[in-house]
Structures are given as C-alpha cells and as structure tokens.
C-alpha cells in the first residue's frame, strides 16, 4: 500500500465563472451562510468539470481512476490537498478481496468488410467493463454471446461490467447489432488484469472537534455525466468551499470506486468510523428530476432531518424516501455492523430514468441549473448539521427574565417579535441537555434558523451551556469500533 498527496497533475478542468442560472427560472435553493464562498451560481463551473471528467476509461481500478483523481486535484487548486491511496490487489477487506487492477490500451471490433464496428476510443461504454484480453477472428454466431445492446432503446449503448467473472465483450446500439452481416469479425481487446492496486482519493478538513461529517462519491463509472461525473464534480466543489470556511465538524471526503471502495475504506478505518456523526453519499446530481434524499438506515438521524429541512425550505417539489439495502455506497455505510448515519442525496434515482447506465447519460442530460440547485441544497444541509447543538438551560427553575438582558433587540432585526419570543421560550423549555436544536425545531414546529438564532442569543447571555457530545449526538454501534 502506498499513500501520496497529489495537489496537482492531470488535465486542467475547464474553469469558468460561477454564473449559471437558477433552476427552472426560479430562485436557487438557499445554501445558508456557506453560499457566498461558492459563488452565487456554481452551475457552469460544475458543468464544465463534468465535461472534463467524462473521457477517461474508468473502472473500479486502474489508470482511469488515477487520471480522474488528478483532474479532481487540479480542480481543487492549491488547497485542500487530495491524498491518493493505493491498496494492493489481494488485500482482504471485510468479506471481500481487492481485485486485480484492470487497464485498457485499446479495444476494437472490426467487421467482415474491414470497417470498424465499435472502438472503445470513441466511447468507453463500448467495452464490457473488466474485459479480459482477446485477439481472435470469430463468426457472427460465435461473437453474439459477447455483444450487448438494448432492444427497447435501439439508439443507445448500454453500460455493462463483469468485475468478478472473467468475460469479454462489446456494447453497441441495437440498430448496429441488427445490421451486422454474417462473416468473420476481428476482435482486438488489449487489456491487462494484473496484481496492481485499488485507488481512491481522500480529503480531510479538520474542524474544531473530532466529530466527522463524511461525504462520499463513486469514481468507477465511465463516460456517464449524471452517474457519476456529477457526484465527483459536486464533491470537489464542496471540498473547495468547505476548505475556506470555519468548521465545527471535521469533514472527510472520499472519492471511491463503488462497493469495493467503500468496503475497502471501512476495513482500513475502523477507528475513524466511530467518529462519524453525519454522512452523505452523492450521486446523480445533474438531471432535471426533483431532488431526492434517501434516509439512513436509522431513519431519523440528524442528517436525515437536516436534509429534509433543507429540501422543504426550497418550496419546490422534492422527495424524501426511506432506506433500502439497494442502491449505492450507503448500503455499506449502513450495513448493520456499522449502522452509520449516512444518507444519499441525488435527483433521479437509479432505474427511475431511462438514460440510467446508457450512453444517453451524456453532457446534455445534466444541466448547470440542476447542478447548482443540488450544490446549494447540500450546502444548506451541511449548514444545519454544523449549527445543530445540544444545549442545557442554566436557569431551569422558572423562566428567566429576558427583557432586561436585551435578547429581543439582539435578534429582532432578522425576524418578527412573535417568532423571536416563541423561539426563545421553546429553547429555554426544551434545552435540557438531551435534545438537539433539530429536535426542538421539530417539536416547536419552527424553522431551524429561528431556533438556532434563539439558542445563540441565549448562550450569549449565559442562559445556555453547550453540552454537545459524541455520546449524545450519535453513539456509534459497537460494530463500528474495534
């Protein structure tokens, strides 16, 4: 295993001003106090980075992943640093084993007339992921079991892989497949499967506490804009933004291959796992579907409620769905032994849109507006989690006299007197050292910002003491610790 910090290298992303339009002509989601540092409209920057991330031949291992991480490092700028980890093939990771490393030099199918049928250089999706090396001349009948198409979408190329069963193949449109003449075909697949390593990237942004906020995105899918160049780009901009802000939580961002990457990270970081208080898996952030949050296995974790609140504040259609053990890397983080408070944020869900895992998931399928909106909702979710606290009323016997402490004047400029008073009274009544501000906002049916502002004002005159602790905010299950 080798770890290296790569702050440069790789192709320069097509940087541009952060000047995208709001989604669907409406105001973008409010990102809270973090919005200013990201620029008012980050959609164009994100869309340009998605375009830069599309070409590499990515998989769960290999140089395509390294090229992608180099692009991320360049997009991050001088800070924060991206650490690249290499975990050797054959390493046991939980119930799995790190696979052999796969790399592609070229892959081409040539027809009887000598013309190219498909070439992976034109589109990485043309090659079955993890294809073994082949050089052969085959009849059409011999070739057919190795050709993959979508009869219901005759003009699209499907995305197919064979990670853990040795196979080879080509993906093509169904129209191409139907038009193939009888004859001899030349198969040239120049790939290697060797004892190499699995590669992933990690950014750690220290906070004032050791409690961690985990953000992950998968790096293994090639040539698809929404799944998951949008997630990689958005995680990159989140890292850039958070690096320039004061942070209570320590933020850990992972750029990992799907499934085997999260399993590998969990296997190597059992001590870190116990510090995770909130987590988000990012995928499919750029399509035109309504934003969607998938709850953690716990169902009512702070991040679940923060995301739901951030979505509700937009005033636009959205979805909050329950956890299921099907999907992306939330499956691993929410496996019963770890049971981490990790949800997933995206827009259209896997299988809900026909472009999923096809060549139609292209740059036109994602929009700057949707990317900017997703980014803002994520920042607002983070904002709420950062400001959530557990307080204890220091004067719990009867209500303290508030007027003489100037509390109404302290926060009166930002909200009406009734909202101020109700926020102050609810916080004083429920701040018993066991309830978080999210709990209080839910119970009082008040906006989180109202409750948080009231708590800040009360703490400013020593009527509250901060008793936020790891044991109260999120006790990690025993399986998450050594």
Has 227 been labeled as part of a binding site?
Answer: yes
In sequence order, which residues have a C-beta less than 8 Å from that of residue 260 and are 6 or more positions away?
A: 60, 93, 96, 98, 99, 163, 198
C-beta neighbour count of 146 within 10 angstroms: 18
Rg (CA), the chain: 25
Instruction: Say whether the peptide bond before residue 372 is cis (omega within 30 degrees of 0).
Output: no
C-beta neighbour count of 288 within 10 angstroms: 15
The tokens describing 132, both together, are: 């073994």
216 contacts 329 by C-beta, under 8 angstroms: yes
334 contacts 340 by C-beta, under 8 angstroms: yes
Has 155 been labeled as part of a binding site?
Answer: no
From residue 332, alpha-carbon distances to 279, 280, 336, 443 in Å are 12, 12, 9, 32
Query: Which of helix, strand or coil describes residue 110?
Result: strand
Query: Which of helix, strand or coil describes residue 27?
Result: coil
Query: Which of helix, strand or coil describes residue 388?
Result: coil
Distance, in Å, from the CA atom of 222 to the CA atom of 212, rounded to the nearest integer, reads 30
The tokens describing 177, both together, are: 């497949």
Inter-axis angle of helices 43-53 and 63-76, nearest 10: 150
Render 342-373 in DSSP notation, one character per residue. EEEEESSPTTTSTTTTBTTSSGGGS-HHHHHH
Has 357 been labeled as part of a binding site?
Answer: yes
The tokens describing 431, both together, are: 């701040």
**Residue ranges at the known binding site for Zn(2+):** 221, 227, 357
**Residue ranges at the known binding site:** 221, 227, 357
């Amino acid at each position: 295993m080798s770890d290296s910090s790569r702050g440069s290298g790789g192709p320069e992303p097509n940087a541009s001003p952060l000047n995208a339009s709001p989604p669907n002509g409406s105001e973008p989601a409010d990102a809270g106090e973090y919005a200013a540092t990201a620029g008012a409209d980050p959609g164009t920057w994100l869309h340009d980075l998605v375009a830069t991330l599309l070409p590499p031949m990515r998989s769960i291992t290999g140089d395509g992943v390294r090229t992608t991480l180099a692009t991320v490092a360049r997009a991050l700028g001088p800070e924060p640093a991206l650490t690249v980890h290499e975990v050797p093939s054959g390493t046991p990771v939980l119930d799995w084993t790190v696979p052999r490393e796969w790399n592609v030099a070229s892959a081409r199918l040539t027809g009887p007339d000598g013309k190219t049928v498909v070439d992976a250089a034109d589109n990485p999706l043309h090659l079955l992921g993890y294809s073994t090396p082949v050089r052969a001349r085959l009849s059409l009948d011999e070739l057919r079991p190795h050709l993959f198409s979508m009869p219901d979408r005759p003009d699209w190329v499907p995305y197919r892989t064979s990670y853990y069963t040795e196979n080879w193949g080509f993906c093509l449109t169904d129209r191409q497949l139907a038009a193939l003449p009888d004859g001899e075909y030349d198969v040239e697949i120049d790939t290697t499967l060797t004892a190499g390593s699995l590669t992933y990237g990690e950014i750690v942004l220290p906070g004032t506490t050791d409690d961690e906020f985990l953000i992950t995105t998968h790096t293994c899918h090639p040539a698809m804009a929404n799944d998951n160049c949008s997630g990689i780009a958005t995680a990159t901009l989140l890292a850039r933004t958070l690096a320039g802000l004061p942070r209570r939580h320590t933020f850990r961002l992972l750029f990992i291959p799907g499934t085997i990457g999260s399993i590998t990270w969990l296997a190597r970081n059992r001590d870190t796992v116990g510090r995770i208080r909130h987590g988000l898996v990012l995928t499919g952030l750029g399509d035109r579907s309504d934003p969607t949050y998938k709850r953690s296995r716990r169902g009512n974790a702070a991040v679940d409620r923060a995301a739901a609140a951030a979505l509700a504040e937009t005033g636009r259609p959205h979805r909050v769905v329950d956890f299921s053990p099907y999907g992306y890397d939330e499956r691993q983080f929410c496996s019963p032994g770890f049971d981490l408070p990790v949800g997933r944020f995206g827009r259209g869900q896997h299988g809900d849109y026909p472009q999923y895992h096809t060549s139609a998931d292209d740059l036109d399928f994602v929009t700057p507006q949707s990317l900017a909106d997703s980014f803002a909702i994520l920042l607002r979710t983070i904002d709420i989690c950062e400001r959530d606290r557990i307080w204890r009323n220091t004067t719990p016997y009867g209500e303290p006299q508030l007027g003489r402490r100037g509390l109404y004047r302290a926060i009166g400029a930002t909200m009406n007197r009734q909202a101020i008073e109700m926020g102050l009274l609810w916080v004083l009544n429920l701040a018993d050292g066991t309830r978080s501000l999210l709990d209080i906002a839910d119970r009082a049916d008040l906006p989180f910002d109202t409750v948080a502002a009231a708590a800040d004002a009360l703490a400013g005159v020593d009527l509250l003491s901060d008793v936020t602790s790891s044991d109260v905010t999120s006790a990690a299950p025993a399986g998450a610790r050594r």
